[in-house]
Amino acid sequence: MKFASFDIEIAKVIADDNPDWRSATPLGITCAAVALSGKEDPLFWHGTPQMTRQECCALVAGLQDLVRDGYTLLTWNGSSFDFAVLAEESGMYTECAALNASHIDMMMIVTFTKGYFLGLQKALVGAGLAGKLKHVTLKDGSPLTEMNGALAPKLWAQGEFDAVLAYLRDDVIQPLRLAELIESTKVIRWTSNAGKPQSVAVPKLVTVKECFLIPEPDTSWMKSAPTRRQFVEWALPHLPGHCFAGI
């Protein structure tokens, strides 16, 4: 399978104590990237101070072109975030909903099987990969050793474009490597907060649409289990006779 690993960085700074990013929309998109199977360098889209609607529409068209060229789009939590934000910023809700339904969201596979969220970092470490990029270099040559996604909007606004793009580059390459490992090993592995090995068997990397065919796990032990609907809530009005089983 030819993968196209996709990720965006947003423009709006969201408070660390605000777990509901939807209350802060519109978020804007500063940059986006796609890492392709068999290609060393990712494709980038970006704008200052953020991407315009026209530029976001060009990004959607670029993703559609990749699908037509035989690539399968790939994300980690892209169904409820990256594609939702792109739909709002581009205004191309129908097109983004269709791209979302046919793409592979690896976190959805874990969540729909286990009933809880899993961070990308844990999956990368569990696969023996380097993990998310922490070190970037700023314009003045000074190192930033605790880089994360929450800092990306602040740095972009300060003109630290190279640092953010370096972080984004890693954020699409690492999931691509993870997907290639999952495809060969047929498993996603991680360690729980309690230090216990965990895993999900993945005979096949399934699309968002196919995730809804995964039997629902027992989440009665959880205080607030994520719902399946919340992953695609934004897309439902834009998929007439929607394709998601059980909702």
Mapping DSSP onto H, E and C, the string for 177-205 reads HHHHHHHHHCEEEEECCCCCEEEEECCCC
Is 244 a member of any domain?
A: no
Burial (0-12, 13-18, 19+ Cβ within 10 Å), 7: buried
Please answer whether residues 190 and 122 qualify as being in contact, where contact means their C-beta atoms are separated by less than 8 angstroms. yes
Domain count of the fold of the chain: 1
Here the CATH number for the domain that contains residue 35 is: 3.30.420
Q: Compute the half-sphere exposure of residue 163: CA atoms within 13 Å on the CB side of its CA.
A: 26
Is 50 a member of any domain?
A: yes
68-81: per-residue pLDDT in tens?
999 999 999 999 99
User: What pLDDT score does 133 carry?
Assistant: 83
**β-sheet bridge partners, residue 36:** 4
- Domain boundaries, position 95: 3-238
Token pair listed for 156: 């972009």
Token pair listed for 153: 């909007």
Q: Is a pLDDT exceeding 80 seen at residue 225?
A: yes
Q: Is a pLDDT exceeding 70 seen at residue 24?
A: yes
Query: Between 222 and 98, whose confidence is greater?
Result: 98
118-155: per-residue pLDDT in tens?
999 999 999 999 888 888 899 999 999 888 888 999 99
Number of Cβ atoms within 10 Å of the Cβ of 23: 8
Is 90 a member of any domain?
A: yes
Is 243 a member of any domain?
A: no
Is 247 a member of any domain?
A: no
Number of Cβ atoms within 10 Å of the Cβ of 133: 17
Contacts of 143 (CB under 8 A, 6+ apart): 135, 136, 137
Is 246 a member of any domain?
A: no
User: What pLDDT score does 6 carry?
Assistant: 98
